[in-house]
Structure 1
Amino acid sequence: MRTGVQWTGTIGPRQTRRWFTYNWYSGWHVHWSMMPTSPRRGAPQLDWDVAVERAGSDRCTYWITVKNLTDRQVTFEGRYTIMNS
């Protein structure tokens, strides 16, 4: 298993934005998670959804839509885990 941070992003209050990351090997099972970099107690800060595009015979692009659930700007890490590398 391998883990890392693919990007750091900032999203405005109640905003929804989409990021993409490309040229991933399609034979890998990749899990994506978003982690806020500053704490805020009492409720979740982010929600996200992952879509995938088969960009070539052995490559793919991930499209990650992130939604800020708060009334404040949130900075976060886009983290990945390759389950079968």
Structure 2
Amino acid sequence: MWTNTQFTGSLPPGATQRWFSSDWPTSWHVVWYMVPTSPGAGEPQIDWDVAVECASADRATYWITVKNLTQGAVTFEGRYAVLN
């Protein structure tokens, strides 16, 4: 297993945005997770959903939709873990 940060993002209060990451082998089991990095008061809260699109028989694109659930702006890292 290995992990890394694929992208960083920021969202204003209540906003939703979609990111993508492409050209991943379809044979890999990839888990995506978002880690808030916003400093300051309060607890940043985000939610995310991941959709997979097969670009070809052996390559996939991941579409990651992230929503800010708080009344303040948030920053975060989009991280992944490859489990095989």
TM range (shorter): over 0.9
Aligned: 1:80 with 2:75: no
Q: Deviations over 1:14-51 (max 9, x none)?
A: 00110011000110000000000135545x61000000
Q: TM-score, normalising length from structure 2?
A: 0.93
Which residue of 1 is the match for residue 36 of structure 2? 36
What residue ranges of structure 2 are gaps of 5+ in the alignment?
none
* 1:1-85 superposed matches below 5 A: 1-38=1-38, 41=42, 45-84=45-84
CA RMSD after TM alignment? 1.3
What residue ranges of structure 1 are gaps of 5+ in the alignment?
none
- In structure 2, distance between residues paired with 1:41 and 1:71: 10
1:57 Cα shift?
A: 1.2
The one-letter code of the counterpart of 1:60 is A
For the residue of structure 1 that corresponds to 2:62, the secondary structure is strand
- In structure 1, distance between residues paired with 2:59 and 2:2: 18
Q: Percent identity over the alignment? A: 60
The one-letter code of the counterpart of 1:29 is H
Regions of 4+ moved over 2 Å: 38-42
